[in-house]
Amino acid sequence: MSLRLASSPHQHQQRSTAQLMRLVCYCALPGFALQCWFFGWGSLIQFAIAAVFALGIEAAILEIRKKDFERALADGSALLTALLLAICIPPLTPWWITAIGAFFAIGISKQLYGGLGFNLFNPAMVAYVTLLVSFPVAMTSWMPPVALAEQGYDFFDALRVIFTGFTADGYSLSQLRMGADGFTMATPLDSVKTDIGLGLTLQEATSKVQFADGFGIGWLWINLAYLTGGLLLLKLRAIKWQIPVSMLGAILLVGGVIHLASPDLFTSPWFHLLSGGTMLGAFFIATDPVSASTTDKGRLIFGAGIGVLVIVIRTWGGYPDAIAFAVVLMNMTVPLIDYYTRPRTYGYQSRGKKR
């Protein structure tokens, strides 16, 4: 038996920041690819725009702050922020709205707070909330699934709509959003919320053609893809299990209780879990190592808080989806959560317990 001697530190960081960020990007790719498959090329172009502006703004601000920007750009955190932003915004949003989003993500909510590791809020979600509050019409103009659209569009059409507002054939964004039956389509969450607000029952609200598979065409598969990517992240120990599990558990519990109380008014918890940005939020957004809680117990509270807020805002709030608002609101509580869930230091008794 041989004893290997090693000097401290005995606990090694498994991955560098850049490796971790790249890993998260790779795990988000299946979901992102499916999103492009179901809703067209727009998201890919949005990613390119967001990445260019995010990297450019980060480099410019670091240059002003006289920091080494090459090292900061190489860590991939700005790229991950750009990817998350591109996933969240509607595929054919005008390019300058994406650029403003990148500015708020990197410039305001990351660099003004001191750069990577100092930001209080999740940059991509701050950018999304800013855009949603600023441009409510543009930010809720989600495309119908390609299979249901009256007017298909290819890569170059998407490029032209994003930069000029019209396709080569002269179709505007609102015409492209038209479904095969002549109605513009909202996202499943939005559509159900509006219909229930109009006094329809849940069954009537989900009888439209876009609910053919029960969850809204495309959204089920996208969420399952993000779930797969997230499970891979868990397996590779890039994230901890507490936040996703407590967040999804809270959604299931609260959503289930209100659904059982009034099945005609409140959608089933499975719909909440598998529509909108739930899986993306649970595995890729809420688990941001900088702005989430840093203790194990704290992570459970943080995730559960997001889950409850998601249901509350989706059901009774003014906006159809709520991941961004819930994450940003819970980010504010993180210092408090961390303060009250400090783990016991090894060798000390926890307070109140006598030896």
Partner 1 sequence: MSELKTLSWQGLWKNNPALVQLLGLCPLLAVTGSFINGLGLGLATTAVLIGSNTTVSLVRNLVPNEVRIPIFVMVIAAFVTVIQLLMNAYTYNLYLALGIFIPLIVTNCAIIGRAEAYASKNPVGHAAFDGLMMGIGFTLVLVTLGALREILGNGTLFSGAETLFGDWALSLKLTLFVTEHKFLLAILPPGAFIGMGLLIALKNYLDKRFEQLHKQPAKVVQRARVTAESQ
Contact residues toward partner 1 (CB under 8 A) are 94, 97, 100, 108, 130, 133-138
- Minimum Å gap between C-beta 130 and partner 1 is 6
C-alpha closest to that of 179 among 157, 147, 138: 147
Using an 8 Å Cβ cutoff, are 53 and 89 in contact? Answer: no
Q: Taking the complex as a whole, how short is the minimal distance between the CB of residue 154 and partner 1, in angstroms?
A: 24
Least separation in angstroms between residue 303's CB and partner 1 is 27
Q: Which is nearer to partner 1, 173 or 186 (CB)?
A: 173
> Whole-number minimum distance, CB 115 to partner 1, in Å?
16
Question: Please, what is the minimum distance in Å from the beta carbon of residue 134 to partner 1?
Answer: 4
If the CB atoms of residues 3 and 137 are measured against partner 1, the closer one turns out to be: 137
Rounded least distance, CB 112 to partner 1, Å: 8
Closer CB to partner 1, 114 or 289, in the complex? 114
Residues 6+ apart with CB under 8 A from 319: 132, 313, 325
Taking the complex as a whole, the smallest distance from the CB of residue 186 to partner 1 amounts, in Å, to 18
Residue nearer to partner 1 on the CB measure, 136 or 335: 136
Nearer to partner 1, 100 or 192 (CB): 100
Nearer to partner 1, 97 or 304 (CB): 97
Token pair of 89, please? 């915004």
- Whether 81 contacts 124, CB under 8 Å: yes
Q: Report the distance separating Cα 310 and Cα 330, nearest Å.
A: 11
CB 218 within 8 A of CB 33: no
Q: Rounded to the nearest whole angstrom, what is the least distance from the CB of residue 31 to partner 1 in the complex?
A: 27
If the CB atoms of residues 1 and 137 are measured against partner 1, the closer one turns out to be: 137
**Min. distance of Cβ 131 from partner 1 in angstroms?**
9
Cβ closer to partner 1: 33 or 108? 108
Shorter beta-carbon distance to partner 1: residue 64 or 265:
64
Query: How far apart, in whole angstroms, are the C-alpha atoms of residue 126 and residue 105?
Result: 6
Give min distance, CB of 246 to partner 1, in A. 30
| Cα–Cα nearest to 25, from 47, 3, 4 | 47
